[in-house]
Structure 1
């Protein structure tokens, strides 16, 4: 299977969508996320982390300017926790946080929106949420059926498998698989995609800056390749059988005609070319696995 043979659009059902408005929105949001909101370009959504004071992850979000507000979106399971986390720090700020999740539908395309969309979108913005250039198409909920029908007619049926394969191939972490409340952003490679180290203060900045000055973390998310099926939850062992890490996501590879995965590895094992063995808990069958280099940024 190749990317060219697969329809290139997907709906992100229930994607958390929030609007932050008010006179203090820029100052407030810039103190809550790791990306520099002042650098947002019109029509572009940027990745950012929302952290605890200890530098651990509350959410991976995407932020975009929308009229007199900022749009914040995150994976569906984070809706309640993200709203509570942001509202906790609204004290005397002139900001209003509005949950618009139920009123909008987020569709994503691996490329531009075709001409002739029969509805007026709420917003469109460029973003690489699956690790490749793409476009978020946000429509009002009542307009979603027409938008889906249009994209199906232009591009074919939605194909979640293509985007999951692309996400894994491009080492893009998601909540519940690679990301959780104990994750430090640099472990998941988010220091390269979602952190501006030269911006002003934000919650958790001291820990993130300290990790950068130390120069390493104790584990890192890595791309993996194998000639046999990989399954999330498989443990990884080094050449002498020592614990090396765990597989977090896996899918058939359309580029290499084998299997690919993501997994957190200890520092001793994360060099590309390292040979490991993958096992399911309780199984004696080992699958050879190779650590793969990341795609160039």
Structure 2
């Protein structure tokens, strides 16, 4: 719930916290063309001021790196979950540009995020509101708009400290890693190293709507994505689940084979989790182990029948009536 104190400052459940996110800048005249060629997202000709997400995949379609792509006027900023992923982009993608004019450089910038109920009001009071899917400058920093008023702010440490103060003055509280993890799980955001791990493919992870453009071709891992989309179906899907009976913990499993369920992330409060569930699971599906401990699917992540680039005129094998 959000209220306003007598001074007009937002008082909310929104929080601000620093993250391990790292920034890699890509410069050079071929920067977008090169990223188009080697990642899962349609980036060629992307407009300055836009933000999307992408993956670098192995030949079998498993993610080797995930990152956000902020298109700035003279460069592209790639925001990675941690320094290890940033290093992969710099050393692997940056080391294979060949004749392309694209240079990768890890920066010293730091990142804070604004999340939680009331984030939109806090952002307005701090004069930092930014539309979802866009990026705008804030001095030497830049602000990325997310859904529900959430923000990512990227820039030099000293400036970010000042912006952090603006947000707390506007009503956000000082958050913690636990706050951010609880928000991530409830929002159904797959985590690098927890859910986004080999051998899981993007469709199983629910990343087709946000990180992949299905009309693209000829990038590493593309064939595996297209083969599952057109000719197969996921054996498992990532879902937001709620414990309904007994004790469910991180790593909890039920069933086996195609019906196996595995909890991969659990909120600090234990009231919501992320889990891989059978590919045919839907909202309301329930699963229990032999001791009666059980979960229920609240939402299957990324269950979009027409993700970006999908051709509605093409009938996939999974769409055909079974005889």
* Fold shared per TM-score above 0.5: yes
Secondary structure of the corresponding residue to residue 78 of structure 2: strand
Verify the 8 A CA contact 2:32 2:45 in the aligned structure 1.
no
Counterpart-to-counterpart distance in 2, 1:32 and 1:88: 12
Counterpart-to-counterpart distance in 2, 1:174 and 1:223: 13
1:232 matched residue in structure 2? 250
2:88 matched residue in structure 1? 81
Aligned ranges 1:85-164 → 2 under 5 Å? 85-100=92-107, 103-110=108-115, 111=120, 112=123, 114-115=125-126, 120-128=139-147, 132-154=148-170, 155-164=172-181
Verify the 8 A CA contact 2:54 2:67 in the aligned structure 1.
yes
RMSD (Å) for aligned C-alpha atoms: 2.9
Counterpart-to-counterpart distance in 1, 2:260 and 2:80: 30
Counterpart-to-counterpart distance in 1, 2:267 and 2:247: 8
Secondary structure of the corresponding residue to residue 37 of structure 1: coil
1:260 aligns with 2:272: yes
Deviation at 1:200, TM superposition (A): 4.5
- Per-residue CA deviation, residues 67-98 of structure 1 (Å, 9 max, x unaligned), is 21111011114232232231242112111111
Call closer, same or farther: CA 1:170–1:294 in 2, change over 3 Å.
farther
Q: Please point out which of 244, 252, 262 is paired with 1:246.
A: 262
Aligned ranges 1:1-297 → 2 under 5 Å? 5-13=12-20, 15-38=21-44, 40-76=46-82, 77-100=84-107, 103-110=108-115, 111=120, 112=123, 114-115=125-126, 120-128=139-147, 132-154=148-170, 155-227=172-244, 230-237=248-255, 244-251=260-267, 259-267=271-279, 270-277=281-288, 286-294=292-300
Secondary structure of the corresponding residue to residue 267 of structure 2: strand
Deviation at 1:264, TM superposition (A): 1.0
Counterpart-to-counterpart distance in 1, 2:182 and 2:268: 7
Verify the 8 A CA contact 1:46 1:194 in the aligned structure 2.
yes
Runs of 5+ unmatched residues, structure 1: 279-283
Deviation at 1:62, TM superposition (A): 0.3
Secondary structure of the corresponding residue to residue 181 of structure 2: helix
Verify the 8 A CA contact 1:9 1:151 in the aligned structure 2.
yes
1:281 matched residue in structure 2? none
Call closer, same or farther: CA 1:21–1:87 in 2, change over 3 Å.
same
Secondary structure of the corresponding residue to residue 183 of structure 1: coil
Count of residue correspondences: 277
Verify the 8 A CA contact 1:56 1:204 in the aligned structure 2.
yes
Verify the 8 A CA contact 1:121 1:137 in the aligned structure 2.
no
Call closer, same or farther: CA 1:153–1:27 in 2, change over 3 Å.
same
Secondary structure of the corresponding residue to residue 187 of structure 1: helix
Deviation at 1:221, TM superposition (A): 0.7
Deviation at 1:177, TM superposition (A): 0.9
Call closer, same or farther: CA 1:199–1:127 in 2, change over 3 Å.
farther
- Per-residue CA deviation, residues 43-68 of structure 1 (Å, 9 max, x unaligned), is 33211111112211111110011221
For normalisation by structure 2, the TM-score amounts to 0.76
For normalisation by structure 1, the TM-score amounts to 0.82
Counterpart-to-counterpart distance in 2, 1:98 and 1:217: 36
